[in-house]
Structure 1
Amino acid sequence: MVGAVLIGLLVLVLAGCGCVVWADRGGPGWVRVVATLTIRAGDALRTYARRSRRGKGSGGGGD
């Protein structure tokens, strides 16, 4: 069951990346919408990862 969910997630990610490339080359409107959503989701995940890494410091790094 978990494997099927992971495969489905992988298919969605690859389809989103394909839409980003297609939209960059002038695809139809729905492709641009999917590409925008994919890019925003990636930005949100990057922001979340940065914030979670900040809280995990050991305290002795001199940041």
Structure 2
Amino acid sequence: MLVLILSVAVLLVIGGCVCVFWEARGDAPRWARGVSKATLLGGELVRSASRNSRSQKSGGDD
């Protein structure tokens, strides 16, 4: 069951990356632009959460 969930998550990430690339080329439909924006926003949220957890572990001396 865990393998299935992880496989779906990987496919969603790959699909999001494809939409980002497609939008960067400039000929993406509206739905792909929306998926691209959601993918980029998700990446920023993960990066922010990672940065916050690292700063808490190091005592906040960034």
- The verdict on a shared fold, with TM-score over 0.5 as the criterion, is yes
Runs of at least 5 residues in structure 1 that lack an aligned partner in the other structure: none
Whichever residue aligns with residue 38 of structure 2, its letter is L
| TM-score, length of structure 2 as denominator length | 0.89
**Whole-Å Cα distance in 2 between the matches of residues 24 and 30 of structure 1?**
14
Give the percent of matched residue pairs that are identical in Structure 1 and Structure 2. 38
Q: What's the offset of the Cα at 1:22?
A: 0.6
| TM-score, length of structure 1 as denominator length | 0.88
Whichever residue aligns with residue 3 of structure 1, its letter is V
Partner of 2:16: 16
Structure richer in helix, relative to its length: 2
Partner of 2:30: 29
Q: What's the offset of the Cα at 1:24?
A: 1.1
Q: What's the offset of the Cα at 1:42?
A: 0.1
Whichever residue aligns with residue 19 of structure 1, its letter is C
**Whole-Å Cα distance in 2 between the matches of residues 30 and 3 of structure 1?**
28
Runs of at least 5 residues in structure 2 that lack an aligned partner in the other structure: none
**Whole-Å Cα distance in 1 between the matches of residues 6 and 57 of structure 2?**
27
Runs (4+) of structure 1 exceeding 3 A deviation are none
